[in-house]
Structure 1
Amino acid sequence: MSYFKWPPPKRRKKLIIAFPGSVLVTEDTLELKTIKAGLLGRSLAIFRVNEALLFRDSDTTIRDLKLLRLLLKYMVTPPHIRRKAYPITSDLSAVGLLPPLRLYPHDIPQNVEVGVKIDGYVESCSGGECKVYLGRIGYGILRDYVKPGSIVTVEVKSIVNSKIILQVSSWGDIYTGFRVKVIYKLEDIINYYKSRSHTIILSSKYGEWIGNIANNIFAHLSRSKGALIIFGGPYKCPYEYTSSDLYDFIINTIPSQGTISVRTEEALIATLSALENLSVLS
């Protein structure tokens, strides 16, 4: 029996990941920072994360925080409209080092026909129509108003005299990537999702091995609307500067680790793999 599903389904419950902008502080060059962002972005997409929230710890610089947000948003944007959505700047000069995500909307159709869905970039609007850039397909006309500069999912409604007429659509129950937000204070993130009935989990070397509390986590997630999973940076874990009372669970997914430290991008894979086995968020 194959468990591979394509297109990938959305998760039944939201999965939100939070980590500090300081994940880039150990990298000395833009190229290395870009590679690090690429590793994080791949993990977020592979595990169908809904939102990536970036916060500021004592080691985070504003520059790294903004750069990480930019690179992750760039990655999740369909390649055929990236140059429109993100004109190349010095911060994006090394994006050739980013690995492709190959999310479902990233593969554009070979042929344009009625019913085809695609993400487009809204260039301009006037007279009740918007000009939407569709990559190598060219342009389509959307007879609706969408804010210029937006990325919109559209469907080909008709083709009239070689003009592609579009209508606003959606990808429905298909997973299409993660949103990226900066929320400076970790406590604000936790309080927001706690008030909305999410399970709050801290991944930390100071936590209890997940194997000992898997049943408790499963039961808690079953009752919640989703999960917020928090990771630390290269120098400090949130366990060291926040109250443990903020978390429903503090878990260790790499017991008896063989290295003195585990990098955030490594902990991300280990923790999401362990929680994926619980299946409750699927």
Structure 2
Amino acid sequence: MAYYEQDRQKKRRLTQDGDYVDTSKPSAFFQPAGGRDWTVSVAIPGSVLSTCRRDDQRTNIVSHIARALAVFSIDEVVIFDDSPPESRARNVDPASYTGDIDPCGYLDHLLQYLEMPPFMRRTLLPLHPNLKAAGLMASLDMPSHPHQTDWLPYCEGVTTSGKPRGGKGTLVDVGRKEPVTISDEVPPKTRITLQIDENDPYLAEAVDPSVPRIDGGYYWGYTTRRCNSLATVFEECSYEGGYDLSIGTSERGVSIPEAFPERKNKEPAVFNHLLIVFGGPRGLENAAENDPQLNGMGIVKRRTKELFDHWINILPGQGSRTIRTDEALFIGLAGLRRLWDGK
């Protein structure tokens, strides 16, 4: 026992000054990194679920994807359909389980569920067969999800039917014991982003969902967008001016260091809106082949790379025959993060 205690003491972390570090508490505290108006988007195909045969397998993959989005502070996830047009599900019953017939809708549903602060899910997302195993998915634990140890100047809330004491304005549930009051009249069961009054924690102002990121410098979760094809990932971009830097991933691409040589001053890449597109089990070339619009433009097979500014292989010399898309997200984003780290 004494030997164990000595060994444990040796492994305790020390600061540069020789002081012991308390590792019993989490080291990640949400501090604003400076406001930013640039964004990072990720696009994934519905075929990421094509190898799954059971619901627990599907929820596991979605959980891994959502964790990658949160860990790397991704602002938008685009879900595109890469299946052959003739095989796509039509007239899907919105009240039925869709994991096996409408993978894009299933991904969208569960990713929205995970991004939403837990306290408001019961109000805004009713019980559904898609969510039967949702309790097994990992928490994202983002700044927009309230925590008793954190106090941030922004929060997410859902409006209630109750009225403030003065009769004017709207009561908003923000996951605390007491609701906050805003001066606007907003219908019940509406999700809004709030900026808390500096002088009164029970008063707030409704703001645009991008304000915590642009003005406060906080990562505030991701938005989801569905597309019918690979081409519409670009065409239906919600950012003014579109994506000004795009990266496609393929085992036939070049390595990340080759595509983005290390700069002497290590300055981040220049962009306003970055898009990183990942393929499914059969790759982005298959997505282009199943896109009638790209077919008409002659962009198929090896010409798929012409859609992107960069065509990269995230892990040359992989030891497995395949890298699952949820694995590729962690590998690719870890390698590409230097493009925006410190931006």
Shared fold (TM-score, shorter chain, > 0.5): yes
Matched, 1:78 2:98: no
SS at match of 1:137: coil
The residue type equivalent to 2:113 in the other structure is: Y
Aligned equivalent of 2:155, options 100, 113, 118: 118
- Cα–Cα, structure 1 residues 217 and 57, in superposed 2: closer, same or farther, change >3 Å? farther
Aligned mates of 2:272, 2:195 — CA distance in 1: 31
- What per-residue deviation string (whole Å, max 9, x for no partner) do you get for residues 66-109 of structure 1? 11111111111111222112122221111111101110121344
C-alpha separation between the residues in 2 aligned to 1:105 and 1:6?
A: 10
Superposed CA RMSD: 3.5
TM-score by length of 2: 0.70
Aligned partner of residue 119 in structure 2, secondary structure: helix
Distance 1:156 1:144 in 2: 14
For the Cα contact (< 8 Å) 1:15–1:281, is it kept in 2? no
- How far apart are 1:157 and its partner, in Å? 4.5
Distance 1:207 1:185, change over 3 A: same
Please state how far the C-alpha of 1:165 moved relative to its aligned partner: 4.2
Is residue 168 of structure 1 aligned with residue 206 of structure 2?
yes
Could you tell me which residue of structure 2 aligns to residue 224 of structure 1?
271
Whether the 8 Å CA contact 2:78–2:227 is kept in 1: the answer is yes
Q: CA deviation at 1:137?
A: 1.6
Change over 3 Å in CA distance of 1:79–1:4 after alignment to 2: closer
Q: Specify the code of the residue in structure 2 equivalent to 1:7.
A: Q
Structure 1 unpaired stretches of 5+: none
Return the alpha-carbon distance in structure 2 between the equivalents of residues 134 and 5 of structure 1. 20
Give me the whole-angstrom Cα distance separating, in 2, the residues matched to 1:84 and 1:6: 27
Q: Is the 8 A contact 1:108 1:118 kept in 2?
A: no
Q: What amino acid is aligned across from residue 31 of structure 1 in structure 2?
A: D
CA separation of 1:135 and 1:220: change in aligned 2, threshold 3 A: closer
Are 2:124 and 1:100 aligned?
A: no
Shift in Å at residue 52 of structure 1?
A: 0.2
Please give the alpha-carbon distance, in whole angstroms, between the structure 1 residues aligned to 2:114 and 2:319: 32
Aligned to 2:47: 22
- Paired residue for 1:133? 173
Q: Deviations over 1:197-253 (max 9, x none)?
A: 52111011111111222139999973432211101112x211343432111111001
Residues 107-156 of structure 1 show CA distances to partners (whole Å, capped at 9, x for unaligned) of 344799xx964321123488753232233524333320335432112345
- Among the aligned pairs, what percent are the same residue? 26
Higher Rg of the two aligned structures:
2
- Aligned-partner Cα distance in 2 for 1:53–1:134: 28
Query: How many residues end up aligned between the 2 structures?
Result: 277
CA contact (8 A) 1:31 1:94 kept: yes
Alpha carbons of structure 1 residues 197 and 32: separation in structure 2 relative to 1, 3 Å: closer
For the residues of structure 2 that align with 1:266 and 1:225, how far apart are their CA atoms?
26
